[in-house]
Amino acid sequence: MRQVLTNLPAGVEKQVVARVLDCCEIASQRQQVKVTDFMDPWHREFVRPLVAQHFGIRYQEDGGYSEAERCRLIIYPDYYRADDLETTVSLLEISLSDATRLLSHRDYLGAVTGAGVDRGSVGDIITFDGGGQVFVATEVRDALLGLSEVSRFQASTREVPPYQVRITQQPVKTISGTVASLRLDAVLSNGLGTGRSAAAQLIRSGKVRVNWREIDQPSFSLNQGDVVTVRGKGRLELAEAGGETRKGRTRIAIKKYS
């Protein structure tokens, strides 16, 4: 099983997979419940078959709410009932001193990791005017309840029940444009408002993921609905692609999330 760590696909982090395998072995051999770090959908898709190969265990995914993008795997002996498992995710709400200020996902992530919490302990982050909500591993919750500053703004932090998640509040900007083709560099250039060569450089440098999988080829072809994540610059979704202009270019609409 461990040989899988020597030949991983591009974008799959070795330490994430190793942690999952460790949890599987402990749950199987010692009959204990183990919990992984938060993982994006690409990593979860990769590790699911690895978990299934272990005898006598099951798993369920926990991101704090049904629409969660980043989730943890709770791996447990197969004689446990899923209903007996405790939640492993807590929801923290951070309120800013300026109720009109809209900060980015990166601002809140920076504040949380700056408080000494590892990225693997952080799930989805939702932003809105005057604050944000952050799903975190329950074991680091208390370390973050004292968080009092985000991006130089004073803040207060409290735990709220998961049903109070504000999933409809995430700010999004829609960008319309045309491209010669649905190449990744062309769509990224439109979404970021940058030159095609600059977009290609971001891709080649390993900073771009499509549907949470690292892509380093500017010519990679996108499909409608694909999600493009750019390290340090946010996330884009190719919301619409279709219809040609008189010059034969394809009309697109991109949703840009802050």
Output phi, psi for 245, to 5 deg: -80, 175
Q: Give the lowest-confidence range in 1-15, 86-100, 177-191.
A: 1-15
What pLDDT is recorded for position 234?
83
Tell me the one-letter amino acid at 145: L
Question: Does the structure show a pLDDT above 70 at 172?
Answer: yes
Output phi, psi for 204, to 5 deg: -65, -25
Q: Are residues 101 and 159 in the same domain?
A: yes
Instruction: Identify the domain containing residue 53 by its residue range.
Output: 2-84
Q: Are residues 6 and 76 in the same domain?
A: yes
Q: Are residues 131 and 208 in the same domain?
A: no
3-state class of 226 per DSSP? coil
Rounded to whole angstroms, the Cα distance separating 48 from 46 reads 6
Mean pLDDT of the chain: 92
Rounded to whole angstroms, the Cα distance separating 68 from 62 reads 8
Tell me the one-letter amino acid at 141: R
Q: What is the pLDDT of residues 181-220, one digit of tens each?
A: 999 999 999 999 999 999 999 999 989 999 988 899 999 9
Residue 137's domain is classified under what CATH number?
3.30.70.330
Strand duo 131-137 + 89-96: pairing: antiparallel
Neighbours of 10 (CB within 10 A): 10
Per DSSP, 159 falls in state: E
Question: Does the structure show a pLDDT above 70 at 57?
Answer: yes
Q: Are residues 177 and 147 in the same domain?
A: no
Q: Are residues 200 and 144 in the same domain?
A: no
Question: Does the structure show a pLDDT above 90 at 82?
Answer: no
Q: Are residues 154 and 177 in the same domain?
A: no
Q: Are residues 185 and 153 in the same domain?
A: no
- The answer to pTM > 0.75 is yes
What pLDDT is recorded for position 190?
94
Residue 242's domain is classified under what CATH number?
3.10.290.10
Residue 77's domain is classified under what CATH number?
3.30.1370.160
Question: Does the structure show a pLDDT above 70 at 174?
Answer: yes
User: Under a CB-based contact definition with an 8 Å cutoff, are residues 240 and 174 in contact?
Assistant: no
Q: Regarding predicted confidence, which is higher, 104 or 158?
A: 158
Of 84, 112, 141, the domain-final residue: 84
Split at pLDDT 50, 70, 90, the class of 1 is: low
What pLDDT is recorded for position 73?
97
Q: Regarding predicted confidence, which is higher, 248 or 3?
A: 248
Q: Are residues 101 and 79 in the same domain?
A: no
Of 164, 192, 208, the domain-final residue: 164
Q: Are residues 227 and 205 in the same domain?
A: yes
Q: Regarding predicted confidence, which is higher, 72 or 171?
A: 72
Q: Are residues 211 and 135 in the same domain?
A: no
Of 132, 164, 196, the domain-final residue: 164
Q: Are residues 100 and 66 in the same domain?
A: no
Domain count for the chain = 3
Split at pLDDT 50, 70, 90, the class of 84 is: confident
Q: Are residues 21 and 72 in the same domain?
A: yes
Mean pLDDT in residue range 104-118: 94
